Structure 1
């Protein structure tokens, strides 16, 4: 009986030490696994796939007190403009493009959505049709007194298509995640030349 108690005690100690070692190993591996890889840097003249969209940046420029594609800016306001070609890669017309680009500028509130306009006719927030490349302008109004930056820094976001989502069982584009960082030089005015591929 005494031998059984000793054997049990020894087994518990071994199990306790093994458990502690396993927890410590998991903690160490978790700490190393939590390391984030640096976000890829995207070439300014590249075509960028985001799931729903194929993007081709054309140019970035600043504008001041101008009527930009019908966007209702305050008189004398400064704005950052990104002109790009967007192609809807889905089967339906959509305007699910407000979060595909996130400005990383100190002068732009991350919660502020840009105005988005078709450059050919100044339609605001248009539905873009499948397979038809369209030139659009993303326009961020800057706060009063903001200094115009020399570059526009953006994070490009992709989504993944799911045949059925977990909540409603409907198809759609979900799980936004960064594709990479895009940095463009900021010209002065709409006559800034396009980026050459």
Structure 2
């Protein structure tokens, strides 16, 4: 009987200790999960950036009130334009670049930008492996939208996996905010084809 009581006591202590340990771990994980996330780093505006699938170098940002890089504007609109040199680091032609740059703090009525090849105004071109091209990201805005003199652009990067967990195929996954680059924003005078 003494042995049975002792055995029950040990079982109770072990189970209680396990429960307490589990509660402590869960509490710590919850506490760390509640901590504010670190802000993405501020990247230098004049440096080349490795964003996984893309190699980037932001060049300039400006506001245009006229058709720019072949992107027409509706009446009552202006455009925020970011030009960047981009190199496709993959082995095949690709145009999965729409979410690479995001202007911070602006209400974007159309969400995704129009993207054009700066040299010939081709819209949404495929970028070929290893060829650096200057791309123009064009976000239409309301004409009275306030664009700050210096604007931060978030940069999204992806990682390459030789096999993903779902299909077992290679690809670029896990888009995450790599950092932020801040550029001065010029205000172009009205012209028939600003920014070209």
TM-score by length of 2: 0.86
Distance in 1 (alpha carbons) for counterparts of 2:146 and 2:7: 73
Whether the aligned pair in 1 keeps the contact of 2:76 and 2:142 (CA below 8 Å) is no
Whether the aligned pair in 2 keeps the contact of 1:63 and 1:80 (CA below 8 Å) is yes
Question: Residue 152 of structure 2 aligns to a residue in which SS?
Answer: strand
Q: How does 1:152-171 map to 2 (within 5 A)?
A: 152-171=151-170
Q: How does 1:69-108 map to 2 (within 5 A)?
A: 69-108=69-108
Structure 1: gaps (5+ residues):
191-197
Question: Residue 91 of structure 1 aligns to a residue in which SS?
Answer: coil
* Aligned counterpart, 1:46: 47
Q: How does 1:1-197 map to 2 (within 5 A)?
A: 1=1, 3-34=2-33, 35=35, 36-64=37-65, 66-108=66-108, 112-189=111-188
Structure 2: gaps (5+ residues):
190-196
Whether the aligned pair in 2 keeps the contact of 1:62 and 1:188 (CA below 8 Å) is yes
Distance in 2 (alpha carbons) for counterparts of 1:167 and 1:21: 36
Distance in 2 (alpha carbons) for counterparts of 1:93 and 1:131: 10
Q: Aligned pairs, how many?
A: 187
TM-score by length of 1: 0.85
| Offset, 1:76 | 4.1
Distance in 2 (alpha carbons) for counterparts of 1:21 and 1:170: 42
Distance in 1 (alpha carbons) for counterparts of 2:112 and 2:14: 56
Whether the aligned pair in 2 keeps the contact of 1:61 and 1:187 (CA below 8 Å) is yes
